[in-house]
Structure 1
Amino acid sequence: MRLWSLHPSLLDRQGLTACWREGLLAQAVLAGGTRGYTRHPQLVRFRRQPEPLVAVAAYLHAVADEATARGYRFDRGRVGVPGPRAAGAPRIAVTQGQLDLEWRHLRRKLAVRSPDRAAVVEQLDGPSPHPLFVVVPGDVEEWERET
C-alpha cells in the first residue's frame, strides 16, 4: 500500500488508479471493515487525526479530483464521507524528507513504466504535496519503509 504524499497530478495512470484503490482499502481498514492491513505503517498518519475517516476521505476526494481532470470516472460514492464534510479535514504535516523520498521513488517508477510521464515530471523543479498535506522540515517519516 502506498498512500502518496505527492500531489496526484504527478502520478501516471497506473499510479493514480492504484492510489485510488489503496486509498479505498485504507478507508476500509480505518472503518474496521477488513482484517488485513490493520498494522500497515502508511495508516499511522491518518490514525493520528481526530477523525481518521474524514482525513482519508479528503485524501480520496483529491485523488478523484485529479481523475476527473484527466477524464477518468472514479466512483466518489465509494468514499465514506461526502466531499463537503471531507473538505473540512485538517491538513496533515508531512516532512520534506518524506516528500523527497517519495519523489525519488516515483521518478524511478515512471522511468520504467511511463517514460513519457517521466519526461514531463523531470522538467519540474521538485515535488508538490497532495492537497491534504502541508510540508514541514524533517527527515523521512518514522513509519516509512525505505523503498
Structure 2
Amino acid sequence: MRLWTPHPKYLDRQGLTGGWREALLAQAVLAGRTKGYQHHPQLERFRAHPDPHRAVGAYLTGLADEATARGYRFDRSRIDHPGTDAVEPVPVTAGQRDYEWEHLRAKLAARSPEWLARWEDVAVPDVHPLFTVRPGPLEGWERPLG
C-alpha cells in the first residue's frame, strides 16, 4: 500500500488508479470493514489525525478530483466521507515528501518515462491537498526500500 504524499497530478494512469484502489482499502481498514492491512505503516498518519475517516475521505477526494480533471470516472459514491471542507491538514515532513518523490520518479522511469519527462524540472513537488509540509527527516512510520 502506498498513499502518496506528492500531488496526484504527478501520478501516471497506473499510479492514479492504483492509488485509488489502495486508498479505498485504507478507508475500509480505518472503518473496520476488513481485517487485512490493519497494521500497515502507511495508515499511521491517518490514525494520528483527529478524524481519520474524514482525512482518508479528503485523500480520496483529491485523487478523484485529479481523475476527473483527466477525464476518468472514479466512483465518488465509494468515498465514505467525501470532500475536503473543514478537514484539518495532515502534517508530513519534507524528508518524507522528498523520499516519496524519488521513489515515485524511479517507478515512473521504469513504467512511464514519457510521463516522468513532464516533471523533469520539478525538484520539490507539490503535495496532495490533504497534506501540509513541515521540516523534518523521513517519517518514523516509513519503511525505506533497499
TM category (shorter chain) comes to over 0.9
Q: CA deviation at 1:124?
A: 2.0
CA distance in 1, matches of 2:104, 2:28: 25
- What SS does the aligned partner of 1:121 have? coil
TM-score (norm 1): 0.96
Which residue pairs with 2:3 in the alignment?
A: 3
Which residue pairs with 1:63 in the alignment?
A: 63
Which structure's residues are more often helix, by fraction? 1
The within-5 A match list for 1:1-147 is 1-83=1-83, 86-147=84-145
TM-score (norm 2): 0.97
Count matched residues. 145
**Structure 1, unaligned runs of 5 or more:** none
CA distance in 2, matches of 1:82, 1:11: 21
**Structure 2, unaligned runs of 5 or more:** none
Q: CA deviation at 1:121?
A: 1.3
Q: CA deviation at 1:87?
A: 2.2
- What SS does the aligned partner of 2:67 have? helix
CA distance in 2, matches of 1:16, 1:41: 20
Aligned CA-pair RMSD: 0.8
CA distance in 1, matches of 2:40, 2:5: 16
Letter in 2 for 1:4: W
CA distance in 2, matches of 1:134, 1:13: 25
Letter in 1 for 2:126: S
CA distance in 2, matches of 1:129, 1:82: 19
Letter in 2 for 1:12: D
- For the Cα contact (< 8 Å) 2:7–2:128, is it kept in 1? yes
Q: CA deviation at 1:95?
A: 0.2
- What SS does the aligned partner of 1:118 have? helix
CA distance in 2, matches of 1:82, 1:90: 14
Q: Provide, for residues 22-41 of structure 1, a one-character-per-residue CA deviation record: whole Å limited to 9, x for no partner.
A: 00000000000000000000
